[in-house]
Amino acid sequence: MSKTFKNFIGGQWVAPASGEYFENRNPADHADLIGQFPRSDARDVQQAVESARRGFAQWRRTPAPARGDVMRRAGDLLVKRKDEIADLMTREMGKPLTETRGDVQEGIDTAYYAATEGRRLFGHTVPSELRNKWAMSFRRPIGVAGIITPFNFPLAIPTWKIFPALLCGNAVVFKPAEDVPHTGHVFAEILLEAGVPPEVLQLVHGVGEQAGKAIVEHPDVALVSFTGSTETGKLVGETCGRMHKRLSLEMGGKNAMLVMDDADLDLALDGVLWGAFGTTGQRCTATSRLVLQKGIHDRFLSTLVDRVKKLKLGDGRKAGTDVGPMINEAAIRKTEHYVDVGQSEGADLLCGGRRATGKGLDDGWFFEPTIFARVRAGMRIEQEEIFGPVLSVVRVDDADEAFAVNNDVKYGLSSSLYTRDVNLAFRALNELDNGITYVNAPTIGAEAHLPFGGVKQTGNGHREGGWEVYDFYSETKVGYVDFSGALQRAQIDNY
Ligand code: UN1
């Protein structure tokens, strides 16, 4: 008998109104059923939002340093349970334990950053243009925050959103991706144990079209933070625009690594293996394009193919696994589709391109690491996000052409340049149109205390992480105190 999980609404663990559940299975082994999770709908969301409004009324009055103490305790609990959470996370989403431990660590870093922010949360005090008058700005919480998160970083991404939302004094309705509800469940338990008051946090499981949609459309959800596909982000954006909601979107990427003739090639090789095939390519920051300068193109590519063929696919919970399964069948199908697209566009399939079979692989969603060469700028496999273990290699003459290839896509999350030329490195920081540019490191590697996000159709201008995320989860208010005892008219009496 598998375990049946519940929502956390109104301060209690409750069954969904529909009485319906969905299965959560291990993507490395279909026979391994992790549990049944609530298929929630608008009725559950209605209860959750009503409760969150009560929670908000109380939590907004809790001093920010005290809210920070709760985040610190959540960080401590994550430290204590790091290995256990990594294990259950790998079981439900597949990436190897080294990666899921990193995912938990990112949550820990985010918790401790939020904890200290409780004693900062700065506003400004500036001189007034009038005598005997003070002028200052400060932050206020906004209300009920709807938090909708993806499967690929099942803990880190929820922490990026929920810790700053709570620290700023908002209440949260959290819907984790339906592929990773177990991590969401454990994270909710940790928040409650850390001291988040029951009605301040609501956990609503379910699928995007039902529970997610109901959260976005609920008039009392004042702000929404969504990480996921650009297509869904567009729908979320339309609703939030129509309803005048504050919205943070984090969506697709088509991130490129540019390797110049003068680069340290061994370093670049390690970088691209990790960037392209870590998390089985299922990251918004995945390296999905490799742009090689002509002098090193052939040599680099042949060594790369040798190394990729040696990557060990398997269960992420087994020692020695380099690449885990994909998340589900739809992800495999989408990747297969893009392999067809690449071939019909005339690119050269150098390795992979199909489902992986063999011992330990037949019962999971495994796909062979795939490389396409002779990819030309503008091909669909060079322009569109695949979100799988597929790398498209483009050959260029020089840095100018490499920069142009990098920039000529609709996305703009991260980019990476391998070179020993310091001038080119700084030019890249200025000229590559991305939210993050790495020099001599792959397209992944964001740290919790710096802003994370992208330009163009990757996002809508907001950032997660770092200091900037606190702007999203709080509203700036300005206070003027005139202690002159007389009417002083700004712009009039002082000039
Ligand atoms: C994502 O790609 O979906 O290094 C998030 C990074 C990670 C987070 C990636 N810490 O970019």
Written as six digits, the tokens of 303 are: 């060594």
Q: Of the residues 452, 458, 464, 469, which should be mutated to test ligand 1's pocket, given the most ligand atoms within 8 Å of the CB?
A: 452
Candidate of 98, 103, 153 to mutate for ligand 1, largest count of ligand atoms within 8 Å of Cβ: 153
In whole angstroms, how large is the CA radius of gyration of the chain?
24
| Other beta carbons less than 10 A from residue 302's beta carbon | 12
CA of 455 to the centre of ligand 1 (A): 15
CB 83 within 8 A of CB 91: no
Domains present along the chain, CATH in parentheses: 3-251+459-478 (3.40.605.10), 255-439 (3.40.309.10)
Ligand 1, atom nearest to 253 Cα: 2
- Does residue 445 line the site of ligand 1, with CB under 6 A? yes
Ligand 1 in reach of 283 Cβ (< 6 A): yes
Among 389, 379, 322, 327, CA closest to 348: 379
Catalytic residue among 92, 106, 199, 284: 284
Residues 250/459, Cβ–Cβ less than 8 Å: yes
Catalytic-residue membership of 92: no
Q: Would the CB of 464 count as within 6 Å of ligand 1?
A: no
Is 275 within 8 Å of 444 (Cβ atoms)? Answer: yes
Q: How many CB atoms lie within 10 A of CB 138?
A: 15
Beta bridge partners of 323: 313
Report whether residue 444 contacts ligand 1, using a CB cutoff of 6 Å: yes
Residue numbers of the chain with a pLDDT score lower than 50: none
Distance in angstroms (rounded) separating the CA atoms of residues 151 and 133: 51
Q: What spacing in Å lies between the alpha carbon of 248 and ligand 1's midpoint? A: 16
Which residue CA neighbors atom 9 of ligand 1 most closely?
285
Which atom of ligand 1 lies closest to the CA of 447? 10
Closest-lying ligand 1 atom to the alpha carbon of residue 413: 2
Residue nearest to atom 10 of ligand 1 (CA): 446
The predicted structure's pLDDT at residue 485: 98
Which residue's alpha carbon is at the smallest distance from atom 4 of ligand 1? 445
Q: Which of 99, 178, 217, 250 is catalytic?
A: 250
Going by CA atoms, what residue is nearest to atom 8 of ligand 1?
446
Query: Is 250 a pocket residue for ligand 1 (Cβ < 6 Å)?
Result: no
How many angstroms does the Cα of residue 283 sit away from the middle of ligand 1? Answer: 6
- At residue 1, the pLDDT reads 64
Judge if the beta carbon of residue 451 lies within 6 A of ligand 1. Answer: no
Q: Are 248 and 224 in contact (CB under 8 A)?
A: yes
- Decide whether any atom of ligand 1 lies within 6 Å of the 413 Cβ: no
Best residue among 255, 285, 386, 387 to mutate for probing ligand 1, ranked by most atoms within 8 Å of CB: 285
152: which 2 tokens?
Answer: 């690929």
Q: Specify the pLDDT at position 495.
A: 76
Per-residue CA distances from 232 to 39, 149, 252, 329 (Å): 19, 12, 11, 19
CB of 287 within 6 A of ligand 1: the answer is no
CA–centroid distance, residue 381 to ligand 1 (Å): 21
Strand pairing class (12-14; 246-250):
unpaired
CA dist 451 and 470 (Å) reads 10
- DSSP assignment of 70-86: HHHHHHHHHHHTHHHHH
Cβ(106) – ligand 1 distance below 6 Å: yes
Atom of ligand 1 nearest to the CA of 250: 3
Ligand 1 centroid to Cα of residue 383, in Å, is: 20
For the question of residue 250 being annotated catalytic, the response is: yes
- Per-residue pLDDT, 113: 98
How far is it, in rounded angstroms, from Cα 394 to Cα 396? 7
Query: For residues 168 and 141, is the Cβ–Cβ distance under 8 A?
Result: yes
Beta carbon of 104 within 6 Å of any ligand 1 atom? no
What is the position in ligand 1's atom list of the atom closest to the CA of 283? 2
State if residue 153 touches ligand 1 by the CB under 6 angstroms criterion: yes
Closest approach atom of ligand 1 to CA 286? 2
pLDDT of residue 494: 81
